Amino acid sequence: YVLAKPFVMSVIIGASRMEQLEQNLAATEVKLDTDDLLRLDEVSALPSEYPGWMLERQAVGRRPAPFTPKA
């Protein structure tokens, strides 16, 4: 899952037994489809932290400011 993220360059693994190392290395061969990745993103999403949740709450029902292009 982590290796499927475009912003991940490498993954640090840790193993205290050879079996764990073999399992970690074998996991690099697993290919997840788009539905799997979307579901994993959904269930692992973190809740908004302050001030993010406060800004979202304050914006509810507000209209965006009109766009005025600069000359």
Output the average pLDDT for the chain. 88
Instruction: Specify if 70 maps to a domain.
Output: no
Our measurement of the distance from residue 38's CA atom to the centroid of its chain's CA atoms, rounded to an integer in Å, reads 10
Has residue 38 been placed in a domain? yes
pLDDT score recorded for residue 71: 66
Residue 58 has pLDDT above 90, yes or no: no
Taking the chain, what is the end-to-end CA distance rounded to the nearest angstrom? 46
From the CA atom positions of the chain, what is the Rg in Å?
21
Which residue did the predictor score with more confidence, 30 or 70? 30
**What total of structural domains would you count in the chain?**
1
pTM of the predicted structure, to 2 decimals: 0.55
* Structural domain includes residue 65: no
Distance between CA atoms of residues 9 and 3, nearest Å: 8
**Full residue range of the structural domain in which residue 14 is found:** 2-59
Q: Residue 43: inside a domain, yes or no?
A: yes
Q: Per residue in 34-54, pLDDT tens?
A: 999 999 999 999 888 888 888
Flag whether 36 is in a domain. Answer: yes
pLDDT at residue 68, rounded to an integer: 75
